[in-house]
Structure 1
Amino acid sequence: MRIIILGAGRVGESVAETLVSEANDITVVDTEPERLRNLEERLELRGVAGNGIQPSVLRGAGAEDCDLFIACTALDETNLVACKIAHDVFSIPTTIARLRSPEFPQGDKLLDKDGFSVDKVLCPEASVTNYVQLLIEYPGALQVVRFSQGKAHLVALRVAPGSRLADHSIADFRAENPDVPLRIVAIYRQDVELPVEGDTRVVAGDEIYVLVAQEKVRQVLHAIGNPDRPVRRVIIVGGGKVGLRLARGLAGTCEVKIIESNRKRAEYLAGELPRDMLVLEGDGADEDLLQQENVGEMDLFIALTSDDEDNIMSAMLAKRMGARRVMALINRRAYADMMQGSTIDIAISPSHAVIGELLMHVRRGAVAAVHSLRSGTAEALEGIAHGDSKTSRLVGRHVGDIKLPEGARIGAIVRGQEGDARVLMPSDDLVIETDDHVIIFLPHKRMVREVEKLFQVRATFF
């Protein structure tokens, strides 16, 4: 696929890294030649220096033969105008814009083909907020992603010592807990993937991925022994766009304190948030301030400033002082990978939170949802089985007869219309039906092209 990315900042760089790894033809446009040179040295792509809202620059970047245009500069107005030009001047079929302003929600008339011609809105701040809110809703999880309008959840968690799963084989756990409806799709021990077989023995500390119906998530967390104590007291460090969004989302459900270092921003936050929400001017890594605000009694401490180092230091300090769970927003991928699962319970990467929304437009076949997992190395994909037994590789076939790449696993099948949809745990003798939503876990992204073919309907099937 030929893709043009406008903007080589943090979001644009992360998008480029992900899409280049999948053998796409990538061109990045930016006004800073130095940024482009750095990208060209690290990644197999082409850089074009210039203003992306100028047709001549886009033409030089190959817009006349482009399949997907992604505008992710720091300015909403630049991204909107660029998408309009990409569509109207060059007839690029799909345009995506990073928009921070809530004034332009997905589906707004201003974004349709008669407006700014934006097919998909990306808002990293909103994606990060949704990501954190799911972790607050399910405090025993490391990651939660949703499929089929929320009907099915993929939950990553660390097996707790003394749980019903620790020191048991998968077969023994299933035999002793027949009423727990889950499908284990991956097990990692110290970053080494283990086979998911009946005789595989799980130990405390293993990281596992399970697919489960939305209404059964808490039952599964309880069965595996992970703590499910609700989050009631939260400290947020950083009152930027993400911090403000999160605080608003937690209003009325949690006792929230916000620490913001900038006086004017703190005053603004105090005027925007409910009166019972305490806004403090100060440094999130100030030990005296954290002690004064009883950080050791907090259910969650989350650092959301724009500085990775500040977030890491304040989260580590809060953990040492007794905060039950700490999270840190970390933009640099190397930092996020290094800190995940250390003193910091969860390292949040903004790029990982939005990549799945982009990948839907790159995937072939009837792909309904994509989520990037394990720092982008693994993926979970939801596709729709169309056609019949003559035109589809899925419809009319038993799950046990479907050929998948080694290590890839069908985790769940969602059957039925939205109102009465059911989540089915796959067994070898379950037959795939037309319009089933099939959720597949892929331990390696190199398997994507082979799995995509399963969801492509052909005129004839051999």
Structure 2
Amino acid sequence: MKIVIVGAGEVGFHIASRLAMENKDVVVIDANSEAVKRLSESIDVQTIIGSGSSPAVLEEAGIHETEIMLAVTDSDEVNLVACLVADTLSPTTKKLARLRGADFDRYHDAFKTNAPHIDTVINPETEVVRTIQRLMSVPGAVDVGEFADGRIKFVGVYLDPGSRLADVQLADLPSVIQEDRPLIAAIVRDDRLIIPKGDNHLRGGDLVYFISEEKKLSRHLSIFDKHVTPVKRVLIVGGGRIGYRLARRLEEDSLSVKVIERRAPRCDYLAEQLDRAVVLHGDGSDQSLLLEENIHDADLVVTLTGDEETNILASLLAKRLGAKKTITQINKFSYFPLMSTIGIEQVVSPRLSAINTILQHIRRGKVLSAISIKGEEGEVMEALALPTSDIVAKPLKRIAFPKGSMVAGIIRKDTIIIPTGDSIIEPEDRIIIFATRQSVPGVEKILAVKLEYF
């Protein structure tokens, strides 16, 4: 698979890094020589200094032999023109573009049928808002994903040291949890992702990922001493594009919303555009302002300024002053491992949201969706089993999945199956697969060779 990436920023860098690790043929284009130098010194990919919207540069990159082009620069306009030029030069190349401007929202479908033809439009800001809403729906979780149109949840929770599950071997869980229990699909310990087996133990402080049907989620959360409590009062720090989108969504859900924004002109705009939200002019990291606004009554504080240090400080301060929960926007991937150490559990990232969307479109085989877990330590994929696949009609325990991967769910029409070793995949089943970063190429090989086939 040959992939051309236009843009060597954070998204382009991390997508290129992941694809290079999977031995794909990657070319990265960027007009910024420093960004290209940083990437070429860290990753073994071909790089070109130039504009991704230039026909000559795209031809130099080999656009005619390219299966997928990703336009992920920080400029919506450059991304659009790059897709237009690529569509002219190589109509068969699949094109994905990151477009963040709200002005383009209503035209996403039009781009799929008109020039410039764009197969997939990625708006990380709308994806972040959806992620925040999922986290709000499961306040005890630090990570929440959905499959099968929301009927299956994969949820990450921290295991308290005093939990009855601490130090329990997974094979012994049936004797500890007599009631219906979820499938534990992954454990993160000391920043390392583990796809567990029966002889693995749970430890206090582990980040435990489990699979649950939506209708059983409350019961499964209670097993981990987490309880779903409704969010009614939300304080948003930062009234930029993401803050505004979130406030609008929460207004539609009839929640009480306050927005703190330090730019006076932006406050005026927000006050005009929002119906019921209270807009406050000030600094979200100002302790006196937070106290004045009764921060201790807030069910949730979401920090969404353009400065991640401010987001971190505001979240920590809000928790110290009595806010029940916080969600913090982070863009620098290097910050992710530090967050739980300093007491910040729920983190969202527009860049990670963009990467998640991109992944499902570059995976071989019938992959319906793909989500990164623990930053970039692994993926959870939803894929379709076709009749020609040689994994159908045999028990899972007889299928040689790559080490570090496991089938965590089977969706058969309206039935959701939490699998065991004796479970059998049938044609047209949708399958949820957890995989460490190291095992993703092996899983993808199975998806492409057999399950595409699959």
Are the aligned partners of 2:31 and 2:51 in contact in 1 as well (CA < 8 Å)? yes
Partner in structure 1 of residue 412 of structure 2:
415
**Matching residue within 426, 433, 439 for 1:440:** 433
Letter of the 2:11 counterpart: V
Partner in structure 2 of residue 261 of structure 1:
262
**Matching residue within 394, 407, 412 for 1:397:** 394
Are the aligned partners of 1:239 and 1:259 in contact in 2 as well (CA < 8 Å)? yes
SS for the counterpart of 1:239 is coil
C-alpha spacing 1:451/1:279, structure 2 compared with 1 (3 Å): same
Say yes or no: does 1:430 pair with 2:423: yes
Partner in structure 1 of residue 297 of structure 2:
297
C-alpha spacing 1:165/1:294, structure 2 compared with 1 (3 Å): same
Counterpart Cα distance in 1 of 2:319 and 2:354: 27
Q: Per-residue deviation at 1:187?
A: 2.2
Are the aligned partners of 1:319 and 1:343 in contact in 2 as well (CA < 8 Å)? no
Counterpart Cα distance in 1 of 2:269 and 2:53: 33
Higher alpha-carbon deviation: 289-298 or 9-18: 9-18
Partner in structure 1 of residue 242 of structure 2:
242
Counterpart Cα distance in 1 of 2:211 and 2:134: 15
SS for the counterpart of 1:370 is strand
SS for the counterpart of 1:202 is coil
Partner in structure 2 of residue 406 of structure 1:
403
Higher alpha-carbon deviation: 368-377 or 101-110: 101-110
Q: How does 1:35-74 map to 2 (within 5 A)?
A: 35-74=35-74
Q: How does 1:259-408 map to 2 (within 5 A)?
A: 259-275=260-276, 277-340=277-340, 342-387=342-387, 391-408=388-405
**Matching residue within 435, 438, 441 for 1:449:** 441
Are the aligned partners of 1:135 and 1:143 in contact in 2 as well (CA < 8 Å)? yes
Letter of the 2:66 counterpart: C
Are the aligned partners of 1:395 and 1:433 in contact in 2 as well (CA < 8 Å)? yes
Counterpart Cα distance in 2 of 1:301 and 1:179: 35
Q: How does 1:216-255 map to 2 (within 5 A)?
A: 216-251=216-251, 252-255=253-256
Unaligned runs of 5+ in 2: none
C-alpha spacing 1:21/1:194, structure 2 compared with 1 (3 Å): closer
C-alpha spacing 1:254/1:344, structure 2 compared with 1 (3 Å): same
SS for the counterpart of 2:375 is helix
Q: How does 1:29-108 map to 2 (within 5 A)?
A: 29-105=29-105, 108=108
Alpha-carbon displacement from aligned partner over 1:85-122 (angstroms, at most 9, x marks no partner): 21222234200011123454598552134432100111
Percent sequence identity over matched residues?
36
Counterpart Cα distance in 2 of 1:289 and 1:244: 20
Counterpart Cα distance in 1 of 2:195 and 2:383: 24
Counterpart Cα distance in 2 of 1:170 and 1:59: 54
Partner in structure 2 of residue 10 of structure 1:
10
Alpha-carbon displacement from aligned partner over 1:327-369 (angstroms, at most 9, x marks no partner): 2211111122212353222232222222222112221122111
Alpha-carbon displacement from aligned partner over 1:36-73 (angstroms, at most 9, x marks no partner): 22222222223322222221121122212211111122
C-alpha spacing 1:106/1:213, structure 2 compared with 1 (3 Å): farther
Are the aligned partners of 1:164 and 1:173 in contact in 2 as well (CA < 8 Å)? no
Letter of the 1:370 counterpart: A
Counterpart Cα distance in 2 of 1:66 and 1:192: 34
Higher alpha-carbon deviation: 282-291 or 52-61: 52-61
Unaligned runs of 5+ in 1: none
**TM-score, normalising length: structure 1:** 0.91
Letter of the 1:121 counterpart: V
- May I ask how many residue pairs the two structures share in their alignment? 452
Higher alpha-carbon deviation: 257-266 or 47-56: 47-56
Letter of the 2:427 counterpart: T
